[in-house]
Amino acid sequence: MRRASTTLPAPPTGQRHDWQTIRQLLPFVWAYKGRVLLALGCLIAAKGANVTVPITFKHLIDGLSISNEQAFIVVPAALLLAYGVLRFSTSLFTELREIIFARVTQQAVREITLRLFKHLHQLSLRFHLERQTGGLTRDIERGTRSIGSLISYTLYSILPTLIEISLVIGILLVQYDAVFAVITLCTLAIYITFTVVVTNWRTALRRHANELDSAANARAIDSLLNFETVKYFNNEAYEARRYDEQLGKWTQAQVRNQYSLSALNIGQAAIISVGVTLMMWQAATRVASGAMTLGDIVLVNAFMIQLYIPLNFLGVIYREIRQALTDIERMFGLMNEHQEIADAPDAHVLPTGPASIRFDAVNFAYDNKRPILHDINFTVEAGQTVAIVGHSGSGKSTLARLLYRFYDVTGGSIRINGHDLRQLTQDSLRSAIGIVPQDTVLFNDTLLYNIQYGRPDASKEEAEAAARAAQLEAFIQQLPDGYATRVGERGLKLSGGEKQRVAIARALLKDPAILIFDEATSALDSKTEKAIQGQIELAATGRTALVIAHRLSTIMNADQIIVMEHGRIIERGTHEQLIAQKGDYAQMWESQQQNALDAET
């Protein structure tokens, strides 16, 4: 197996596909268009109220004909009343928006996450071997978290802010000197240009920091998954140094990111301050000359206050949207990952019943530069047991992966009952096959769950029967929690032999037409191996079985034994025939028998 690379599943960092990302996201949101439109209506109403309040202030103040003593009491009272109404209306419409739109965001996140989860399971084994789980899960986590932020910011902050700005500029143009609208437009243009330019520069820093964060997380998870290996070689300090090295790079990237954020904030504050100062200077000059009333300056000041807040928030929103798009782009990059092994458009279902297997001139290479299998030809008739033996690296386990269609052959074909695997649906193909792998990986759940995983709809009684057949029941009865015992991450609480017996039990529970045993007893002691061997032979009765083995004593009764070396078949026949040939099989048999005698003595 190849070592997992550190390549992260993301689009090239030198390119952005923001509009493509948004187009992919919109159908999930628009599926709830009624709620979207209703929530938009609430927000537009809130912004309309915000713009109307300053106009109300102006008419209220200009219409007052009172003494200075009365004004001192009435004007603050009117302002407080208007402020209270504004606060309440803003909160009311905001909460209405959240109530109406909550389901849209969460359902969109749910559907996208589920679709991505299904897609990842449809990708080839090659993809998962070349990716590190930690970096993959971090990209998914950041992407799903950013979906809610992006939807909220784009639909319910950007649009209402632009509407409010448009209304304010329109009122300033109609009722006052054009200089007020010009100052407002210039301030907006400079502010937005500055924000876009600096934020685009910061996006590259953020993306680089994300990549370093994913790499650090992947390194930590990889180390923790190999906890026992780290302990075996006393490499805790070495792992800490490697992790700290990655964290150091991430820290430097985060510091640069913070410096750029501070520069952006200072620039934005300076632009806003200059714009507000110019507006108030123009208003104060006109009030002094009698061209504007007291109510007018209150109106202009209120507009500036109302514009200042969304302008400042607009910069924050733009930064967040760019960052969210960066994270979502990585996640959608996973969703767009090419599915190497896919059902053909005309794929059909494999009929149930007894199955025969035919390897017809099969050639295969994980990498074109290094062929693994060369012209493999053999047949396993329905109900027969065929064993594959050979030294490590001879290509035995590759046959099982090809039969499961984790990969497609690069030459020739594999057929079940005459059907080319590439013309069958993957679901029907894999439903017909059960496997006991050499390296059994279990879910961090109970023993019962892991056994029932072979057929999730099986009853507890059926799972217990499968456990008995796999010689597992005596072990389970000794456990305080019995079948409810949790097996730990990847089954680390169980020994190698116990994990393999669980794998045998769930394969038996699946009750498939084809059984594959890939070194199924390699982790068992001799006594347990003999006990289980009888159950394996019993399970294989009436089924087509492919047994990949290292210990030749376990496959003596096979209908045919195939000997492989360097990806080629060098011998085939029954046990007796191969012993009589005095070839490679006979030499392996003699060597293993001698080792067994030496172990007994």
At residue 169, does pLDDT exceed 70? Answer: yes
- Cross-strand pairs, 413: 360
487-531 pLDDT, tens digit per residue, is: 887 777 887 778 888 888 888 888 888 988 887 766 566 666 666
Tokens of 78: 């009117």
- Cross-strand pairs, 565: 568
User: How far apart, in Å, are the Cα atoms of 282 and each of 56, 179, 187, 198?
Assistant: 22, 8, 15, 30
Please check whether the two domains, 18-335 and 344-432+512-601, share a CATH topology.
no
59-97 pLDDT, tens digit per residue, is: 556 655 444 444 445 554 555 565 566 557 666 776 776
| Higher local confidence (pLDDT), 135 or 344 | 344
Q: 364 falls in which pLDDT band (50, 70, 90)?
A: very high
Q: 599 falls in which pLDDT band (50, 70, 90)?
A: low
Tokens of 11: 């689009």
275-287 pLDDT, tens digit per residue, is: 878 887 888 888 7
- Cross-strand pairs, 572: 562
* Reported pTM: 0.62
At residue 184, does pLDDT exceed 90? Answer: no
- Please report the pLDDT score of residue 62 as a whole number: 61
Q: 357 falls in which pLDDT band (50, 70, 90)?
A: very high
| Higher local confidence (pLDDT), 523 or 40 | 40
| Higher local confidence (pLDDT), 55 or 8 | 55
428-477 pLDDT, tens digit per residue, is: 998 888 888 877 888 888 999 999 988 888 899 999 988 888 878 888 88
Q: Count CA within 13 A, CB hemisphere, residue 545.
A: 27
**Mean pLDDT value across the chain:** 79
Furthest C-alpha separation in the chain: 124
- Please report the pLDDT score of residue 468 as a whole number: 87
CATH number, domain 344-432+512-601, options 3.40.50.300, 3.40.50.720, 3.40.50.1980, 1.20.1250.20: 3.40.50.300
Residue boundaries of the structural domains of the chain: 18-335, 344-432+512-601, 441-506
Q: Provide the phi-psi class of 583: left if phi over 0, else alpha when psi is between -120 and 50, else beta.
A: beta
The C-alpha angle with vertex 314 and arms to 309 and 317, in degrees rounded to 5, equals 125
At residue 235, does pLDDT exceed 60? Answer: yes
- Please report the pLDDT score of residue 416 as a whole number: 92
Task: Give long-range contacts, CB 8 A cutoff, 24+ apart: 79-83.
Answer: 82/53, 82/56, 82/57
User: How far apart, in Å, are the Cα atoms of 274 and each of 265, 268, 271?
Assistant: 14, 10, 5
- Please report the pLDDT score of residue 2 as a whole number: 37
At residue 296, does pLDDT exceed 70? Answer: yes
Average pLDDT for 326-354: 83
Cβ-based neighbours of 590, under 8 Å, separated by 6 or more: none
At residue 561, does pLDDT exceed 70? Answer: yes
Residues 340, 344, 349, 350: is their CA dihedral positive or negative?
A: negative
Cβ-based neighbours of 1, under 8 Å, separated by 6 or more: 129
Strands 411-416 and 419-420, by their bridges, are antiparallel
Average pLDDT for 192-208: 81
Give the 3-state secondary structure of residue 425: coil
- Please report the pLDDT score of residue 419 as a whole number: 92
Give the 3-state secondary structure of residue 66: coil
| Higher local confidence (pLDDT), 557 or 520 | 557
Average pLDDT for 370-379: 90
Strand arrangement, sheet containing 568-573: 433-436, 514-518, 544-549, 385-390, 560-565, 568-573
User: How far apart, in Å, are the Cα atoms of 417 and each of 152, 353, 357, 414?
Assistant: 55, 10, 7, 10
For domain 18-335, the question of CATH label 1.20.1560.10 is answered with yes
- Please report the pLDDT score of residue 361 as a whole number: 92
- Please report the pLDDT score of residue 540 as a whole number: 74
92-106 pLDDT, tens digit per residue, is: 776 776 777 777 777
- Please report the pLDDT score of residue 360 as a whole number: 93
